[in-house]
Amino acid sequence: MSVALVTGAAGGLGAAIAARLAEEHAVLLTDVDARRLKEVASKLAADGARVAHTTCDVSERASVQAAFTAAEEQLGEVTALANVAGVGMFVPFTELTEQQWDHTFAVNTRGTFLACQELLRRRDGRPGAIVNIASIGARLGMEVLADYGPSKAAVIELTHVVSRVGAPTGLRANAVMPGLIWTDMWQKTSEWLLANDPAHAGSSADKIFAGFVESMVPMRRPQTPEDIGEMVAFLLSDRAANVTGQTIAVDGGVVLT
Ligand SMILES: NC(=O)c1ccc[n+]([C@@H]2O[C@H](COP(=O)([O-])OP(=O)(O)OC[C@H]3O[C@@H](n4cnc5c(N)ncnc54)[C@H](O)[C@@H]3O)[C@@H](O)[C@H]2O)c1
C-alpha cells in the first residue's frame, strides 16, 4: 500500500483530505495541534484505516524531516504528499504587521517548500506525487489578505518549480485552490469581522460567511472539505498520471483559471 503524508491533518480540510486518502493509501497525519490530531487519527483508525500520526511544525526543517522518518518507520516510504497546513486571518492592509507577514509566510510558504524538498530528496529520482493547497486568495487581490494572498501565490509558483524538477522522473506536483469552506479558519475570520467591522454589527458568524458565499461564489454555494478531499485524492492517484504543474480551483466558479 502506498504511503501518503498529510500536513495540517487536524484542521477542517486536512482531516477530510486524510480521510479520503485513507481509502487508497496508508496515511501519516501531522499537525502542530497534538490534541486534535490524535482525535482525528483515532477516529480514522477506529474506522479501519491504516493511519499513524505525529506532531509536526511545517515551518521547521527538523520537524518536517522527523515526520517523514516517522512515516517510514511506522507505515513505509512516503510517495504522496498533501501540504494542507496553513494560517490565514483578515487584517486591513495598513494594519498588517511584519510579524504576521513573517508567520504567514513561514507556515504557508516555507512549510510547503520544506515538505516538497524533503519528499524530492527522499524519492531521489523516483516517482511520487504532491498536492499543495493554495487558495483563491492567491488570485483576488483582497485588501485584507495582503500576507495570505501572496503567500499562496508563492505556493502556486513553487508548485510550478517542483513540477519541472520532478517531471523527468515521474514525480508530479499540482496545486488546488479551495474556495469558501466553513472550517476554523472561516469561523475565526467571521468572528473577527463581527467584533471589529461595524459593517457586520448585529450579524452572526454564520450569516457573515453566508454573505461572502452569496457575493463571491457564482454557483451560490459554499464548498465542502469533501469536495477538496476528492480533488486531492484524484491528483495524488495514477488517474492523474499525466497531470502536473496545474492549479485546479474547487471554488464554485470564483476564479477562472
Ligand atoms: N477554509 C477555506 O475556506 C480555505 C480556502 C482556501 C484555502 N484554504 C487552505 O486550506 C488549508 C487548510 O485550512 P482549513 O480551512 O482546514 O483551516 P484550519 O484552521 O481548520 O486548519 C489548518 C490546520 O493547519 C495547522 N497548522 C497551523 N500552523 C501549522 C504549522 N506551523 N505546522 C503544521 N500545522 C499547522 C492548524 O493546527 C490546523 O489544524 C490552509 O492551507 C488554508 O489556507 C482554506
pLDDT score for 158: 99
DSSP, res 32: S
Question: Counting atoms of ligand 1 from 1, which one is nearest the CA of 179?
Answer: 5
pLDDT score for 257: 87
Sheet holding 128-133, edge to edge: 51-55, 26-31, 3-7, 78-83, 128-133, 171-178, 247-250
In the numeric block, the cell 491504516 is attached to 50
* Residue with CA closest to ligand 1 atom 43: 86
Residue 139 to residues 30, 49, 166, 167, 255, Cα–Cα distance (Å)? 28, 36, 25, 26, 7
pLDDT score for 151: 99
pLDDT score for 77: 98
The whole-angstrom separation of Cα 234 and Cα 232 is 5
pLDDT score for 216: 98
pLDDT score for 73: 98
Question: Counting atoms of ligand 1 from 1, which one is nearest the CA of 181?
Answer: 3
Ligand 1 centroid to residue 107 C-alpha, Å: 9
Question: Counting atoms of ligand 1 from 1, which one is nearest the CA of 85?
Answer: 24
pLDDT score for 1: 84
**pLDDT per residue as tens, the chain (257 positions):** 899 999 999 999 999 999 999 999 999 999 999 999 999 999 999 999 999 999 999 999 999 999 999 999 999 999 999 999 999 999 999 999 999 999 999 999 999 999 999 999 999 999 999 999 999 999 999 999 999 999 999 999 999 999 999 999 999 999 999 999 999 999 999 999 999 999 999 999 999 999 999 999 999 999 999 999 999 999 999 999 999 999 999 999 999 98
- Give how far the C-alpha of residue 56 lies from the chain's centroid of Cα atoms, to the nearest Å: 14
Q: So which residues are the catalytic ones? A: 148
* Residue with CA closest to ligand 1 atom 32: 57
**Which residues surround ligand 1 with Cβ inside 6 Å?**
7-8, 10-14, 31-33, 56-59, 84-88, 107, 111, 133, 135, 178, 180-181, 183-186
List, in order of start, the domains of the chain with CATH numbers.
3-179+223-250 (3.40.50.720), 182-222 (no CATH)
Residue 44 to residues 32, 38, 109, 200, Cα–Cα distance (Å)? 18, 10, 28, 38
